[in-house]
Structure 1
């Protein structure tokens, strides 16, 4: 079994990019691969609570993120500095996350066989 790391850097609700990446994550996990997700930069906004994309006539991807656990995607990482720089805390996110320091991101990436950037 290969270990996949999907890196999410883009903000939510900007085109279909997030939805397509989520589809890749769920498909990979459905084939019994080990899947982790890392949120960096504006990607941390994808996990922010109380988003209302319906007001902008966009799909709410937050519900799909909550399904990650059903697909056994348990390692959801968020870069601590990305949260801090955007005035967010882990308590404001829709999922429990593992925070990782910016200095440790490269080591996290190296622990995976396949890295899928967004």
Structure 2
């Protein structure tokens, strides 16, 4: 009997540094993908800052985990959503992101999350 994958949403709301939430959510996504789960990533509020390509974490002696986002495609994690309003509120253009993502309106978020079986928030 084949096991069916679970649709899992991981919501990233935290800035990249100051806590381990960003690194932990990325690690979680990669691990779940290894177990054939259908993972979708959502970046909202300060979570959009995790995707900035111009981060310089070495200045604060932090790890540049944002470079690992480029590996998502090798883990078949293709559903990556970024809130347009969160980007605009922070003066960020989508060309500044380190990976390609689908830009969504805040109003689309609840519909996308409703299609998931599990939701985790970091």
Deviations 1:95-118 (A, max 9, x none): 001011011110010011111111
Shift of residue 39, structure 1, vs aligned partner: 0.2
TM-score (norm 1): 0.96
Which 4+ runs in 1 deviate beyond 2 A?
A: none
**Residue of structure 2 equivalent to 1:103:** 107
Q: Is structure 2 residue 94 aligned with structure 1 residue 90?
A: yes
Q: Secondary structure of the equivalent of 1:62?
A: helix
Q: Secondary structure of the equivalent of 1:36?
A: strand
Q: CA–CA distance in 1 between the matches of 2:19 and 2:106?
A: 27
Q: Secondary structure of the equivalent of 2:103?
A: strand
8 Å CA contact retained: 2:67, 2:98: no
Q: CA–CA distance in 1 between the matches of 2:83 and 2:22?
A: 18
Q: CA–CA distance in 2 between the matches of 1:102 and 1:16?
A: 25
Within-5 A mapping of 1:39-78: 39-78=43-82
Number of aligned residue pairs: 118
Q: CA–CA distance in 2 between the matches of 1:17 and 1:83?
A: 19
Q: CA–CA distance in 2 between the matches of 1:37 and 1:24?
A: 11
Within-5 A mapping of 1:20-39: 20-39=24-43
| Structure 2 gaps, min length 5 | none
TM-score (norm 2): 0.93
Structure with the greater alpha carbon radius of gyration: 2
